[in-house]
């Protein structure tokens, strides 16, 4: 996977994770272009897009769009499931997640993502194990807060 | 679950005011971040937001730089800085503090610090060097969470040069008792492999260990590395096929713990990864493919549930089945799968179905026929993505008969597409089809006119280039050429007369060139008329100065006769004072040549397109001028890369604390000469050449064509073939033969068609018949095995325009694979049972023991070599004696030279193919022996070889077409390297026919190490010095020093010299310089220095990838020593 973007229906970026080195200018340009393209698509349309030499796989959950860029030979359907699994993870962690959870706790959303995908590849696909890893780190956090 | 997620969130502002919102329990709405976010939500304009964020950033900046800020506060500040950056505001001042936080914070602060670093920086950012020590420390920590964090950041980004510093620690983690650590370590190694494969190539045995890990998660992670390794060199990992198959079998059979299930499908990610690996391994390899047939069948069968995830697996399975050597039952099932996808009401599946069809359509054109009505519907689909994919599919099935309909559809799409990337791609495809299949001149010129108008100025420059080339080189018949050119001229004149201001620049350039060159062909066209039309272009507001110079060039060719000369005079007057020097020069030329028609005749001879011209590419005629300028005190010329390097050296960070293993300075001989002006002037010719070389890879620019009369025309010869092809294009027959009709009709009736009004239906059927014409006949001929001229054309095309499109590249596979399943099944049935039964017995333990026996990569390679012949050993008992007699068949010119061992390539019941090579000074001579082991003669034999990296030319005068029973035919090729790669491979296919039998094909691939192409390059230290500066591709690395006597450097270099045929130029103290070349004339220089017990080498070459490849072989050579 090359990158993952989360943005709202209003086009506000909520999360961005880049797995390929790009300049900030490039990132901004890509984000702007993609947000525009994806938001312009109608609900019944295909979840896949050909964009430059990449493929974009996106899915809308409530007011949030999850959008991944993959290479040509990658599997589009499994990428849709990666998105879905990530949403499931967020949902489990926050307890029925909503956009606000992600806005106010975006660093947590990043931690979960890093535990699930590493360097653009699925690292741990078991929901239980991902959350276990996150909770252990969180627990440490609580302890040191108290201490 | 998704219902829960998909709850409405429209009441955003009202939610914000409620602190006790469920789910927002963890919201820190009282925190500063909360305030910031709330503040932004309340704002109404972008301008206000900007002001607010700037204020926020100033406050963050003040606080982070204050010494009183605690790490805990710092963490909070970082989160806010990340938020600001996400909104698109730069907070680069905080980057260094993020690193500090990761370094100094407690575990919880560190976590945010590392996160901020991974979000702020990318792997080329120089600040990342400051993270190295932190990572080192955390990797050694006893706290698991710290180790995890360090590994996580390392797997995302790490400075390439610093990998050796942490590599041993990461390797250690592969033995860690916790699987999460092992898994992350494997992914870190994967990252290292991606950014610097050389650095980790010695630990391939560790990858094997990871593959055999008892935790399936770690094993899954290791597959990322294997996929990458196998992508690059599938030959080296064939021995793992059985293990991969076993793993997949266990996964599919549900042997993994429930944790790995996803929506009750066992480890789908793992399954897909394995399928991708298998398809790479089985490609072009019958025996390996056979190992996987059973498990593929099983996967297809198991994936039944109606869920996206099973479709994902099915799709990958289908791709794999069509990639490996075909097996008819599997193909049938896969075809059915594709059908289900295509017919699915779910749009995502439909899209993938079309994609799969596109992928397989050349192997199996009948499949497209089956679904023709669906395809027609998709052509009018409201979603452009579907439409686009359908066009891609049609592009693959285009032939001489349906080209006009398909091109029309593509042009329709182009007219509505707004996406630049799509336009560029599609325009290129239309141009390719037009060149290949144009039914007549008018159509061709008109289609190209549309291409140029729609493609505008963003299309690939090679489209106008090859179009002009095609016009100028012509075909076999002069009369046809004349007609084509004349038609182009007429069409352009009428375009210019109507609305020239709407035409894109590139098109105007093409028009001017053609008019300048060929308008004399038209009898009724006065040069003056053309001159006037052209001169109007000069007055247009949008005309670029590049176009203007094309126009002026064209006018220079045309200015003949009184009126024309006076037009030329006018033009001269307006442009002789132009600010643009090029235009001024062109105007001058126009003026002079219009006055002197005799001189014009000599400079611009008419129809001289095919005359070869001498070119002085080193610009040596300027040497006098250069030395004069230098004598007058001018600064010597420095190539751009050198300027950049000096700049970089001037402001580079000091690497001292980390430079344990990195040689930064290059103090001795070669560098000392850098500033000497005399040497520079001596080397000007050389550096000119080398830049030529390094630019060869790029596409030729449009300008080349404009000036080609002056600079000569090498390189065009290779393109001749496709041009000739266009000439032979058949005239489309409006009527189809009855048999084709019948076939098309019958398939139509099979297709389940939705209810549409009869009239509409008829339209669609008509469209279908015009789109799919020619397909039916092609496929039936293919299956019956008669020789078919159409694929032949593709084949030659593919060689002519090396890899211009994926379509033509794929053809060789499809050619060979369609007829083969039958005979393969027959001849290999014996082996089949052996191979299949073996892996089924294999348990993971078995594969583990297999892995430990060949622990490191050298053994692995030799293993493969030994294994290969043993597979065919049973029925090939007389292998050995044959070897001896084969060498007697070597061509006479090679008979005196020493040749490599004769290695078997492939065989079946009637032929044995083997090969050997002879190293000559300027090339590698490859000899392929075809031994006919059957009792009857092989007829209509044809051997085709191809390679992505190599250039092969046949030396044998006439290709052998027949081999008598039990005798040998020899094909002799001269091989040079086009593009260096660690291993280069020749793919080949032999087609033949036994008397009374059907045509058969057999495929093989032959791997040659790059070392067989390396020759010593003899030069002096001075020459070395000047070449060194001119080369732009470089690589640095440390190698092991052979430390067995007093002078390790000399010993090591001698080993390299002996094993790799390098030339040692000079050794001074602890430094040595070495040179070699890759045949033909691709130099590579190596500078070696003994440093801290290792050999620091720095390689440079004008050829991309060559330094890396050579380095790999040096490493191998020294390890083997």
Give the C-alpha separation, A28 to A7, whole Å.
13
- pLDDT attached to residue B586: 87
Note whether B311 contacts A: Cβ–Cβ < 8 A.
yes
Closest chain B CA to residue A79 = B312
Give the C-alpha separation, B968 to B585, whole Å.
64
Q: Specify which of B129-138, B616-625, B985-994 reaches the highest per-range mean pLDDT.
A: B129-138
Quote the minimal CA–CA distance from A68 to chain B in Å. Answer: 15
At residue B985, φ and ψ (nearest 5 deg) are -135, 140
Q: Residue range B288-295: average pLDDT?
A: 92
H-helix segments, B519-559: 527-539, 545-558
Which of B88, B106, B187 lies closest to A121 in CB terms? B187
Task: Say if the Cβ atoms of B23 and A19 lie within 8 Å.
Answer: no
Give the C-alpha separation, B552 to B539, whole Å.
12
Beta strand extents in B765-807 (DSSP E only): none
- pLDDT attached to residue B365: 80
Which of B5, B145, B183 lies closest to A97 in CB terms? B5
Give the C-alpha separation, B691 to B283, whole Å.
38
Closest chain A CA to residue B36 = A104
Note whether B258 contacts A: Cβ–Cβ < 8 A.
no
Which band of pLDDT confidence, cut at 50, 70 and 90, is reported for residue B695?
very low
Which residues in A lie closer than 8 A to residue B152 (C-beta atoms)? 114, 118
Which band of pLDDT confidence, cut at 50, 70 and 90, is reported for residue B698?
very low
Q: Which of B1054, B1049, B1055, B1075 is nearest to B1063 (CA)?
A: B1075
**Global ipTM:** 0.94
Which band of pLDDT confidence, cut at 50, 70 and 90, is reported for residue B645?
low
Q: Is the CB of residue B694 less than 8 Å from the CB of residue B1102? A: yes
Closest chain A CA to residue B314 = A77
Quote the minimal CA–CA distance from B441 to chain A in Å. Answer: 34
Which band of pLDDT confidence, cut at 50, 70 and 90, is reported for residue B659?
very low
Whole-number Cα distances in Å, B1008 to B204, B235, B367:
21, 11, 38
Per the model's pLDDT, the better-predicted residue between B86 and B716 turns out to be B86
Quote the minimal CA–CA distance from B765 to chain A in Å. Answer: 26
Give the C-alpha separation, B299 to B1107, whole Å.
43
Task: Say if the Cβ atoms of A75 and B272 lie within 8 Å.
Answer: yes
B988 beta partners: B945, B1004
- B783-813 confidence digits (pLDDT tens): 233 333 333 333 333 333 333 333 333 333 3
Task: Say if the Cβ atoms of B221 and A136 lie within 8 Å.
Answer: no
Quote the minimal CA–CA distance from B318 to chain A in Å. Answer: 12
Which residues in A lie closer than 8 A to residue B388 (C-beta atoms)? 50
| HEC per residue, B955-987 | CCCCCCCCECCCCEEEEEEEEEECCCCCEEEEE
Look up residue B310 and give its two tokens.
């099973």
Quote the minimal CA–CA distance from A69 to chain B in Å. Answer: 16
Give the C-alpha separation, A121 to A106, whole Å.
21
Which band of pLDDT confidence, cut at 50, 70 and 90, is reported for residue B764?
confident
Task: Say if the Cβ atoms of B27 and A81 lie within 8 Å.
Answer: no
Which of B7, B90, B260 lies closest to A62 in CB terms? B7
Q: What is the mean pLDDT of chain B?
A: 75
Whether the predicted pLDDT of B400 surpasses 90: no
- B944-963 confidence digits (pLDDT tens): 888 888 888 887 766 777 88
Q: How far is CA A134 from the centre of its chain?
A: 16
- pLDDT attached to residue B45: 81
- B344-392 confidence digits (pLDDT tens): 889 999 999 999 999 888 788 888 888 888 888 888 888 888 999 999 9
SS3 for A48? strand
Which residues in A lie closer than 8 A to residue B272 (C-beta atoms)? 75, 78
Q: Residue range B855-884: average pLDDT?
A: 40
Q: Residue range A46-73: average pLDDT?
A: 92
- Protein fold of A3-145: Beta-Lactamase (3.30.450)
Whether the predicted pLDDT of B136 surpasses 70: yes
Task: Say if the Cβ atoms of A46 and B348 lie within 8 Å.
Answer: yes
Closest chain A CA to residue B82 = A107
Quote the minimal CA–CA distance from A122 to chain B in Å. Answer: 8
Give the C-alpha separation, B291 to B840, whole Å.
10
Measured between its terminal Cα atoms, the distance across chain A in Å is: 40
Look up residue B885 and give its two tokens.
């007699």
Q: Is the CB of residue B890 less than 8 Å from the CB of residue B927? A: yes
Task: Say if the Cβ atoms of B152 and A114 lie within 8 Å.
Answer: yes
If you ran DSSP here, which 8-state letter would residue B343 be given?
H
Question: Which range among B279-283, B392-396, B726-730 shows the weakest confidence by mean pLDDT?
Answer: B726-730
Which of B4, B126, B270 to mutate to test binding with chain A, by most A CBs within 10 Å of its CB?
B4
Which of B122, B388, B393, B805 to mutate to test binding with chain A, by most A CBs within 10 Å of its CB?
B122
Whether the predicted pLDDT of B234 surpasses 80: yes
- pLDDT attached to residue B149: 92
Q: Is A62 left (phi over 0), alpha (psi -120 to 50) or beta?
A: left
If you ran DSSP here, which 8-state letter would residue B873 be given?
T
Whether the predicted pLDDT of B735 surpasses 60: no
Task: Residue count of chain B, please give it.
Answer: 1121
Q: Is the CB of residue B417 less than 8 Å from the CB of residue B448? A: no
Sheet order of strands, B924-932 included: B903-907, B911-919, B924-932, B968-977, B950-954
Quote the minimal CA–CA distance from B860 to chain A in Å. Answer: 27
Look up residue B196 and give its two tokens.
């610097």
Give the C-alpha separation, B1090 to B877, whole Å.
51
Q: Residue range B158-174: average pLDDT?
A: 90
Which band of pLDDT confidence, cut at 50, 70 and 90, is reported for residue B739?
very low
Q: Is the CB of residue B842 less than 8 Å from the CB of residue B294? A: no
Give the C-alpha separation, B706 to B666, whole Å.
44
- B901-924 confidence digits (pLDDT tens): 888 888 887 888 888 888 887 788
Count contacts between A and B (CB, < 8 Å): 196
Question: Which range among B18-32, B428-442, B459-473 shows the weakest confidence by mean pLDDT?
Answer: B18-32
Which residues in A lie closer than 8 A to residue B24 (C-beta atoms)? 98, 100-101, 104
Q: Residue range B572-593: average pLDDT?
A: 85
Whether the predicted pLDDT of B537 surpasses 70: yes
Quote the minimal CA–CA distance from B1004 to chain A in Å. Answer: 25
Share of chain B above pLDDT 70, in %: 75
Which band of pLDDT confidence, cut at 50, 70 and 90, is reported for residue B682?
very low
Which band of pLDDT confidence, cut at 50, 70 and 90, is reported for residue A17?
very high
Task: Say if the Cβ atoms of A45 and B183 lie within 8 Å.
Answer: no
Look up residue B739 and give its two tokens.
């048999």
Which band of pLDDT confidence, cut at 50, 70 and 90, is reported for residue A80?
very high
Q: Looking only at Cα atoms, what is the longest distance across chain B?
A: 95
Q: Residue range B581-585: average pLDDT?
A: 87
- pLDDT attached to residue B529: 84
What residues have CB less than 8 Å from B559, skipping those under 6 apart? B527, B531, B565, B567, B568, B590, B593, B594, B600
- Within a 10 A sphere around the Cβ of B495, how many other Cβ atoms? 19
Task: Say if the Cβ atoms of A95 and B22 lie within 8 Å.
Answer: yes
- B1077-1118 confidence digits (pLDDT tens): 888 788 888 888 887 778 888 888 888 888 888 888 888 888
Which band of pLDDT confidence, cut at 50, 70 and 90, is reported for residue B823?
very low
- pLDDT attached to residue B21: 38
Which band of pLDDT confidence, cut at 50, 70 and 90, is reported for residue B837?
very low
Which band of pLDDT confidence, cut at 50, 70 and 90, is reported for residue B183?
very high
Q: Which of A114, A72, A64, A70 is nearest to A89 (CA)?
A: A114
Which of B2, B148, B385 lies closest to A49 in CB terms? B385
Q: Residue range B401-426: average pLDDT?
A: 88
Give the C-alpha separation, B731 to B728, whole Å.
9
SS3 for B733? coil
- pLDDT attached to residue B785: 32
Look up residue B429 and give its two tokens.
């495809």
Look up residue B882 and give its two tokens.
């044959």
pTM to 2 decimal places: 0.62
- pLDDT attached to residue B1113: 84
What residues have CB less than 8 Å from B178, skipping those under 6 apart? B144
Quote the minimal CA–CA distance from B419 to chain A in Å. Answer: 9
Task: Look at the block and give the residue holding tokens 């605690």.
Answer: B70
Closest chain A CA to residue B30 = A104
Task: Look at the block and give the residue holding tokens 């896969």.
Answer: B334
H-helix segments, B361-402: 365-370, 372-379, 384-396
Which band of pLDDT confidence, cut at 50, 70 and 90, is reported for residue B644?
low
Closest chain A CA to residue B122 = A21
Give the C-alpha separation, B246 to B710, whole Å.
64
Whether the predicted pLDDT of B595 surpasses 50: yes
Q: Which of B545, B547, B482 is nearest to B517 (CA)?
A: B482
Give the C-alpha separation, B933 to B877, whole Å.
13
Give the C-alpha separation, B792 to B999, whole Å.
14
Which residues in B lie closer than 8 A to residue A95 (C-beta atoms)? 22-23, 25
Q: How far is CA B389 from the centre of its chain?
A: 21
Q: How far is CA B1087 from the centre of its chain?
A: 30
Which residues in A lie closer than 8 A to residue B32 (C-beta atoms)? none
Which of A77, A123, A137 lies closest to B308 in CB terms? A77
- pLDDT attached to residue B3: 44
Look up residue B755 and give its two tokens.
């209810």
- pLDDT attached to residue B749: 42
Look up residue B444 and give its two tokens.
């061709």
- B307-342 confidence digits (pLDDT tens): 889 999 999 999 999 999 989 999 999 999 999 999
């Amino acid at each position: 996977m090359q990158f993952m973007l989360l943005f709202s229906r209003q086009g506000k970026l909520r999360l961005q994770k880049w797995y390929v080195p790009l300049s900030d200018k490039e990132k901004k340009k890509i984000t702007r272009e993609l947000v525009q393209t994806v938001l312009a698509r109608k609900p019944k349309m295909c979840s896949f897009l050909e964009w430059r030499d990449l493929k974009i796989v996106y899915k809308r959950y409530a007011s949030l769009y999850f959008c991944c860029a993959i290479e040509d030979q990658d599997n589009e359907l499994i990428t849709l499931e990666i998105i879905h699994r990530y949403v499931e993870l967020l949902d489990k962690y926050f307890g029925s997640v909503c956009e606000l959870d992600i806005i106010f706790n975006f660093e947590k959303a990043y931690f979960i993502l890093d535990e699930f995908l590493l360097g653009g590849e699925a690292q741990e696909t078991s929901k239980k194990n991902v959350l276990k890893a996150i909770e252990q780190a969180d627990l440490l956090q609580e302890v040191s807060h108290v201490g | 679950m998704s219902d829960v997620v998909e709850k409405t969130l429209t009441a955003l502002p009202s939610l914000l005011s409620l602190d006790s919102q469920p789910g927002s329990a963890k919201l820190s709405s009282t925190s500063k971040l909360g305030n910031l976010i709330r503040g932004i939500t309340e704002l109404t304009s972008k301008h206000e937001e900007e002001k607010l964020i700037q204020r926020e950033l100033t406050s963050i900046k003040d606080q982070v730089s204050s010494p009183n800020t605690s790490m805990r506060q710092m963490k909070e500040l970082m989160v806010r800085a990340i938020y600001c950056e996400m909104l698109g505001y730069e907070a680069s001042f905080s980057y260094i503090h993020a690193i500090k936080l990761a370094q100094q914070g407690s575990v919880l602060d560190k976590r945010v610090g590392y996160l901020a670093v991974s979000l702020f920086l990318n792997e080329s950012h120089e600040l990342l060097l400051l993270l190295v020590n932190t990572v080192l420390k955390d990797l050694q920590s006893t706290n698991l969470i710290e180790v995890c964090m360090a590994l996580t950041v390392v797997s995302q980004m790490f400075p390439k040069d610093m990998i050796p510093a942490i590599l041993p620690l990461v390797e250690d983690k592969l033995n860690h008792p916790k699987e999460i650590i092992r898994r992350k370590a494997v992914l870190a190694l994967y990252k290292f492999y991606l950014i610097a494969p050389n650095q980790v190539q010695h630990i391939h045995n560790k990858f094997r260990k990871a593959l055999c890990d008892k935790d399936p998660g770690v094993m899954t992670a290791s597959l990322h590395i294997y996929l990458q390794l196998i992508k690059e060199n599938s030959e080296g990992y064939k021995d793992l096929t059985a293990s991969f198959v076993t793993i997949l079998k266990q996964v599919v059979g549900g042997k993994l713990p429930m944790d790995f299930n996803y929506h009750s499908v066992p480890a789908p990610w793992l399954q897909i990864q394995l399928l991708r690996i298998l398809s790479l391994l089985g490609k072009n390899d019958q025996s390996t493919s056979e190992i996987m047939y059973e498990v593929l069948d099983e996967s297809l069968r198991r994936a039944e549930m109606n869920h996206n995830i099973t479709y994902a697996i099915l799709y990958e399975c289908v791709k794999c089945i069509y990639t490996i050597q075909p097996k008819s039952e599997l193909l049938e099932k896969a075809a059915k799968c594709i059908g289900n996808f295509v017919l699915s009401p779910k749009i995502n599946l439909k899209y993938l179905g079309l994609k799969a069809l596109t992928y397989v359509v050349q192997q199996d054109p009948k499949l497209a026929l089956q679904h023709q009505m669906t395809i027609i519907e998709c052509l009018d689909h409201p979603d452009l993505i579907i439409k686009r994919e359908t066009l891609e599919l049609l592009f693959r099935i285009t032939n001489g008969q349906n080209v006009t309909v398909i091109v029309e559809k593509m042009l329709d799409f182009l007219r509505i597409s707004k996406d630049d990337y799509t336009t560029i791609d599609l325009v290129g495809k239309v141009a390719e089809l037009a060149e290949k299949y144009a039914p007549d001149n008018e159509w061709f010129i008109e289609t190209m006119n549309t291409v140029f108008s729609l493609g505008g100025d963003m299309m690939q420059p090679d489209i106008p280039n090859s179009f002009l080339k095609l016009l100028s080189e012509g075909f076999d018949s002069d009369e046809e050429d004349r007609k084509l050119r004349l038609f182009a001229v007429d069409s352009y004149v009428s375009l210019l007369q109507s609305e020239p201001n709407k035409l894109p620049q590139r098109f105007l350039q093409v028009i001017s060139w053609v008019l300048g060159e060929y308008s004399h062909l038209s009898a009724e066209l006065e040069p003056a008329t053309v001159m006037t039309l052209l001169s109007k272009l000069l007055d247009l507001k949008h005309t670029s100065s590049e176009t203007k110079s094309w126009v002026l060039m064209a006018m220079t060719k045309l200015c003949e006769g009184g009126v024309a000369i006076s037009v030329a005079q006018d033009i001269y007057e307006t442009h002789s004072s132009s600010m643009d020097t090029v235009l001024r020069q062109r105007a001058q030329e126009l003026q002079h040549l219009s006055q002197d028609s005799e001189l014009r005749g000599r400079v611009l001879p008419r129809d001289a397109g095919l005359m070869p011209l001498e070119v002085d590419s080193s610009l040596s005629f300027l040497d006098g001028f250069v030395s004069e300028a230098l004598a007058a005190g001018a600064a010597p010329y420095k190539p751009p890369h050198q300027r950049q390097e000096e700049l970089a050296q001037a402001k580079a960070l000091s690497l001292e604390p980390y430079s344990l293993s990195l040689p930064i300075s290059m103090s001795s001989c070669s560098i000392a000469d850098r500033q000497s002006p005399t040497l520079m002037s001596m080397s000007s010719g050389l550096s000119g050449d080398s830049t030529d070389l390094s630019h060869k890879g790029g596409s030729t620019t449009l300008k080349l064509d404009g000036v080609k009369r002056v600079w000569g025309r090498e390189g065009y010869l290779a393109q001749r073939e496709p041009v000739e092809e266009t000439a032979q294009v058949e005239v489309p027959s409006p009527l189809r033969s009855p048999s084709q009709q019948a076939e098309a009709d019958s398939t139509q009736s099979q297709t389940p068609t939705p209810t549409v009004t009869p009239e509409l239906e008829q339209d669609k059927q008509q469209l279908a018949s015009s789109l799919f014409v020619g397909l039916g006949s092609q496929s039936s001929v293919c299956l019956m095995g008669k020789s078919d001229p159409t694929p032949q054309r593709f084949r030659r095309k593919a060689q002519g325009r090396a890899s211009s499109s994926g379509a033509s590249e794929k053809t060789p596979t499809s050619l060979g694979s369609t007829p083969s399943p039958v005979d393969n099944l027959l001849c290999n049935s014996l082996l089949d049972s052996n191979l299949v039964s073996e892996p089924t017995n294999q348990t993971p333990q078995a594969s583990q023991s297999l892995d430990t026996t060949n622990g490191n990569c050298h053994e692995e390679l030799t293993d493969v070599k030994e294994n290969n012949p043993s597979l065919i050993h049973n029925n090939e008992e007389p292998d050995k004696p044959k070897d001896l007699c084969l060498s007697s068949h070597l061509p006479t010119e090679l008979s005196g030279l020493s040749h490599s061992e004769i290695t078997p390539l492939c065989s079946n019941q009637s032929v044995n193919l083997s090969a050997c090579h002879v190293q000559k000074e300027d090339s590698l001579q490859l000899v392929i022996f075809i031994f006919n082991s059957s009792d009857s003669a092989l007829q209509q034999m044809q051997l085709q070889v191809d390679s992505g990296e190599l250039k092969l030319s046949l030396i044998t005068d006439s290709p052998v077409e027949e081999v008598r029973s039990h005798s040998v035919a020899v094909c002799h090729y001269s091989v040079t390297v086009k593009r260096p790669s660690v291993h280069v491979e020749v793919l080949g296919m032999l087609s033949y026919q036994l008397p009374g039998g059907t045509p058969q094909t057999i495929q093989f691939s032959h791997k040659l190490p790059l070392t067989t192409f390396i020759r010593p390059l003899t030069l002096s230290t001075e020459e070395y010095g000047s070449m060194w500066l001119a080369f732009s591709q470089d690589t640095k690395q440390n190698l092991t020093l052979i430390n067995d006597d007093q002078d390790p450097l000399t010993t090591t270099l001698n080993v390299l010299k002996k094993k790799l045929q390098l030339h040692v130029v000079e050794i001074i103290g602890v430094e040595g310089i070495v040179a070699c070349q890759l045949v033909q004339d691709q130099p590579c220089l190596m500078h070696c220095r003994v440093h801290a017990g290792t050999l620091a080498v720095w390689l440079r070459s004008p050829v991309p990838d060559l330094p890396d490849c050579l380095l790999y072989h040096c490493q191998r050579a020294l390890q083997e020593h």
